[in-house]
Amino acid sequence: MDAALQTREPPGPPPIYRSAGRRLPEVSGVFHGRELTRKERRLACGIEVIDRLLAGGILRGRLSELVGAVSGGKTSLAMAFAAQATQREAAAWIETGNSLDPLSLTASGINPARMLWVACPAPSHGRTLPALKVAEWLLGVGGFGLVVLDLAGEQRLLPIGVSLRIARAAEASGAAVMVLAERRVCGAPAALTLSLTGRQARFSRSAPQAPALFDGIEVELTVRHNKLGGVGAGVRWSAVTAWDSRSGRARRSAAAAEPRPLAVDAG
């Protein structure tokens, strides 16, 4: 897989995203006197390798999917996008269960005051997911930079009409809509599908007799579907543990997270 990853060079970000003042065009929609097109208005996640792979981030006003199995890193990546969005904008996190962890939100750098959380009930048999209805309502309000639709337990493909309605609502509101699921559920209306696979769970010891520590998961990200091209490209990145504020136990920071011999292949 490594070789396959290296065979495709990810396209570089457009010039405006290489500039120091990247924030201004994102907000104003104008750069060097030129109005940015939809393709140029993107939401970055702050993980440099992924932003470079996606030419600046996921598209605003479009539907993107993050798919992967349990411990694949999709929640961590979605939170990274949300952290960037809530620096200046409002975001919404709609989930079908009740699994969002507030400590993970703050550890990811998300401003909780700008994050609207909705935990939707399970749908009754044969009915549309309430989460989709909620997403459509919130997109109708407008003003959200990112709407995360966490359908982690959803296995079925959504009805095409529903996906289309969400995609159109996203386009009208200009918000980036991100769907988290175990497999592709949006079908053709999704502009981008990123597949995430947990390759390695990293454990380490600070000394031979010291207790083992969980350091994080190494994740492989592949562009499964992209309407703007670049399908098949991929990168590896790491979702690492940070500071566990509740227990008061200091965990190793990223800078110090050197892999130790205890690395275990979890795939």
Q: Shortest Cβ distance from residue 168 to another protein (Å)?
A: 18
Using CB under 8 A, which of 203, 224, 230, 231 touches another protein?
203
Q: Shortest Cβ distance from residue 39 to another protein (Å)?
A: 18
Nearer to another protein, 141 or 160 (CB): 141
Nearer to another protein, 41 or 225 (CB): 41
Using CB under 8 A, which of 64, 75, 163, 226 touches another protein?
75
Q: Which of 61, 124, 126, 136 is nearest to 94 (CA)?
A: 136
Q: Count residues contacting another protein (CB under 8 A)?
A: 92
Nearer to another protein, 47 or 192 (CB): 47
Please give the residues from 85 up to 114 whose contact with another protein meets the rule CB under 8 A.
Answer: 86-90, 98-109, 111-114
Nearer to another protein, 108 or 163 (CB): 108
**Does residue 255 interact with another protein by CB under 8 A?**
yes
Q: Shortest Cβ distance from residue 74 to another protein (Å)?
A: 6
**Does residue 201 interact with another protein by CB under 8 A?**
yes
**Does residue 250 interact with another protein by CB under 8 A?**
no
HEC-encoded secondary structure of the chain: CHHHHHHCCCCCCCHHHHCCCCHHHHHHCEECCEECCHHHCEECCCCHHHHHHCCCCEECCCEEEEECCCCCCHHHHHHHHHHHHCCCCEEEEEECCCCCCHHHHHHCCCCHHHEEEEECCCCCCCCCCHHHHHHHHHHHHCCEEEEEEECCCCCCCCCHHHHHHHHHHHHHHCCEEEEEECCCCCCCCCCEEEEEEEEEEEEECCCCCCCCEEEEEEEEEEEEEECCCCCCCEEEEEEECCCECCCCECCCCCCCCCCCCCCECCC
Nearer to another protein, 38 or 227 (CB): 38
Using CB under 8 A, which of 63, 67, 83, 194 touches another protein?
83
Please give the residues from 23 up to 42 whose contact with another protein meets the rule CB under 8 A.
Answer: 24, 27-28
Please give the residues from 154 up to 193 whose contact with another protein meets the rule CB under 8 A.
Answer: none
